[in-house]
Chain A
Amino acid sequence: MIAIDDDLLAPSVLADPYSYYGRLREHDPVHWNGRWGGWLLTRYDDVLHALRSPEEYSSDRMASLMIELNEAEKDRFHLLIDYFSKWLVFTDPPYHTRVRNLVNKAFTPANVERLRPHVRQIVTELLDRVADKGAMEFISEFAFHLPVIVISEYMGVPVEDREQVKEWSDETGRIFFIRANEPDRRERSQRGLEHLLEYFAPLIRDRRVHPRDDLITALVQAEERGDLLSEDELLATCTVLIFAGHETTTNLLANGLLAFSRFRDQWDRLRENPGMIKTAVEELLRYDGPVLATFRAAKRDLTVGDKQVRQGDRILLVLGAANHDPAKFADPDRLDIARWPNPHVAFGQGIHVCLGAPLARLEAQEAFLALTQRFPNLRVPDQPLEYHPTIVSRALTRLYAEW
């Protein structure tokens, strides 16, 4: 048994989580982290089973938040509790099943595919802006904008409001992503959510009277048809979709570009064989996807490996560790854009599998096709890499590229 430091936000873990979680997977694959107060699962088979077994592993995050809060705090943060408890990602069946079924149609691969020409055009326009400069900060000049434009347009958020909505969305997320000891993160999160709710309420009212070809209209109509979504559920769903559509795809693009810079031969291979784009993006997701880990809670007492997990225990499913498990993936630390089948868990699996996955795939496919074709010599110069301090996402603060 080796000694394992339980600080998941240590600089060495943030810089290279795959080595840290790889050691865990090898030496203690079902690990009790006393500092965080929960179990860490790092083997592919255990993570996959947990993702596909909502009867054993609950996604109800609010239940665990309620335990952390005293009565005064519950009162103060009632808005957060009310709405987050209606966010698809934090709910179990039957609520989850009902709402997921309503929104699923809008995100099926076939429906999302229709957006491809438009996404291609957005990518072209974004790259037009920087082409002559010969260099860019990839995140703020490209990877940030693409998902914001795509999800805002798809939902029906007016162009002029995009940046503001993005800011509120980021604030709302502070409660999940930022260091747990940031003192006012709950207040900031609740204020962000308040702004989003105030913003979406009139948009929803407008679409009832003036339907358009956008997702808010589709949700309103689903609600009106069968009274299946209440007003609060509709608002909660708008906020979770805009939130989920933002940061993760940005990180997929940035992590992908960094991965290519470390495996230059794979960049050249894609440039010469653009037909490999689909398997290439799956491999980028597996190799260094935007979501490192996801939470669950034990719905009942469970035996995982040789450990006894108690009902209610918090569990971190380390997707990034599962995606590098040599028991599942040959040569897991190598980027191979032809890898197939590639049963990675970057989008989760099971009933909570990422709703926006087809959209994220489409955006990444169009981005890397355009980048390899238009800037074949693009390189990522040596630079200090800094990641946002969170245990669930894999988020660079900046990434300079030149061509």
Chain B
Amino acid sequence: MAESALHITVDHDRCVGSRMCVQIAPRTFALDENGQSIVIDPGGDPRASILEAAENCPTMAISVVDPQSGCVLFPPSSG
């Protein structure tokens, strides 16, 4: 594998079950029994799709970190 899987977390205090992430990156995200998003495979979709899923979350519940560099790819730092 060319790049290691991203470190993805979904904050369930924020997730409202909009399903945007599930539609954009369906092999990475799925719904749990409460209708909230969970990560089923952090390498399930191309990086660009995972980042697009994070960006489209209406409550910014998804954060994405590159485990190799430690860089936070989403959300963008405020300021």
Contacts and interface: CB of A to CB of B under 8 A. Distances in A.
Interface residues of A, number: 25
B58 A353 contact: yes
Q: Which of A107, A113, A353, A358 has the most CB of B within 10 A?
A: A353
Given A110-B76, A350-B35, A358 B17 contact: no
B60 A110 contact: yes
Given A97-B23, A110-B60, A341-B13, A350 B18 contact: yes
Contacts of A357: 58-59
A104 to B, nearest CB: 5
A108 B56 contact: yes
Given A343-B13, A350-B19, A351-B19, A52 B34 contact: yes
Contacts of A140: none
Interface string A103-145: 0110111100100000000000000000000000000000000
Contacts of B24: 101
B58 A108 contact: yes
A248 interface: no
A266 interface: no
A105 B57 CA distance: 9
A104 B20 contact: yes
A103 to B, nearest CB: 11
B17 A52 contact: yes
B34 A104 contact: no
B6 interface: no
Interface in B42-69: 55-60
A291 to B, nearest CB: 15
Contacts of B55: 105, 108, 110
B75 A353 contact: no
A47 to B, nearest CB: 13
B18 A101 contact: no
Given A108-B56, A108-B58, A101 B34 contact: no
B16 interface: yes
B38 to A, nearest CB: 14
Contacts of A104: 20, 56, 58
B72 to A, nearest CB: 13
A221 B56 CA distance: 18
Q: Which of B13, B20, B24, B58 has the most CB of A within 10 A?
A: B58
B58 A107 contact: yes
A372 interface: no
B57 A108 contact: yes
Contacts of A53: 35
A51 B60 CA distance: 19
A109 B35 CA distance: 21
Given A110-B76, A351-B18, 13 more contacts: A52-B34, A53-B35, A104-B20, A104-B56, A105-B55, A108-B55, A341-B13, A347-B16, A348-B16, A349-B16, A350-B18, A351-B19, A357-B58
11 contacts: A52-B35, A53-B35, A101-B20, A104-B56, A105-B56, A108-B56, A109-B57, A341-B13, A343-B13, A349-B17, A357-B58
